[in-house]
Amino acid sequence: MTVVRRILLVVVGILLVLDVAALAIVKFGTGPAPSDEKTKVAIWIDDKAHAEAAAKMLAEAGYPDTIHKPGERETFVEADFRVVMEASRKELLDPVATVLKKGGHKNLTFNKEGTELYYGGVYQTKAQAKKIASKLEKQEMLVFDVRPGQKKVMKKSFKVIIPEVPANYVSDVTAPVEAEYEVVNIEEYPLAPSEAAEEEASEEE
């Protein structure tokens, strides 16, 4: 290999390194421009101290109008328990129902597809349902599962509100909060242009 060729290869290598570095700066250093579309963001955190700290973090990150306040969020809890046996097809459950009926058990129902056999009705607590399932296993040597349903309830929580964020910045803004605190939900409310203008006007005042 000639000296000139070696020098040429070194120069090309340096240019490639500089090109990669330049691309990295463009990709990671500048980031996208803020979108004209604005969004109001609400971050739900159940712990009061954490909600206060999250609001402070966001204020220091460039969103000084961030506030936190108590509220109630919708969630679901286990309720309405069923004692159930499941199979891939009804033909496998029919003999089980027959054995139970012969043993004097009457309150038996199938789901629409016939793949689930329910014993009894709806039990308010898991303990009640487990007691029934345990009794069936001891008396009839049949294993039933206890399956919970769901009930919607309102739970006390705290809402950290950022009045206005560029729509394409929402995930970048909320990610540090999610990494630091236990966030249970994030809600986004796109702002109409008139609403965004009102937010800006109130900030100027």
Report residues of the chain scoring pLDDT below 70.
Answer: 1-31, 194-205
Q: Which fold has domain 76-152?
A: Alpha-Beta Plaits (3.30.70)
Q: What is the pLDDT of residue 202?
A: 53
DSSP for 173-191 reads HHHHHHHHS-EEEEEEEEE
This prediction's pTM: 0.58
Question: What CATH architecture does domain 35-74+155-204 belong to?
Answer: 2-Layer Sandwich (3.30)
The whole-number pLDDT of residue 65 equals 93
DSSP string, 25-94: IIIIII-PPPPS-EEEEEEEES-HHHHHHHHHHHHHTT-TT-EEEEEEEEEEEEEEEEEEEE-SSHHHHH
Query: Residues 144-203: pLDDT tens digits?
Result: 999 999 989 999 999 999 999 999 999 999 999 999 999 999 999 998 876 555 555 454
* 67-71, long-range: CB < 8 A, 24+ apart: 67/160, 67/161, 68/158, 68/159, 68/160, 68/161, 69/158, 69/159, 69/161, 70/156, 70/157, 70/158, 70/159, 71/44, 71/156, 71/157, 71/158, 71/159
Sheet holding 116-123, edge to edge: 108-110, 116-123, 67-86, 145-166, 38-45, 183-191
pLDDT the model gives residue 96: 92
Contacts 24+ apart (CB under 8 A), 63-67: 63/162, 63/165, 63/173, 65/162, 65/163, 65/164, 65/203, 66/160, 66/161, 66/162, 66/163, 67/160, 67/161
CB 171 within 8 A of CB 31: no
pLDDT recorded at residue 4: 55
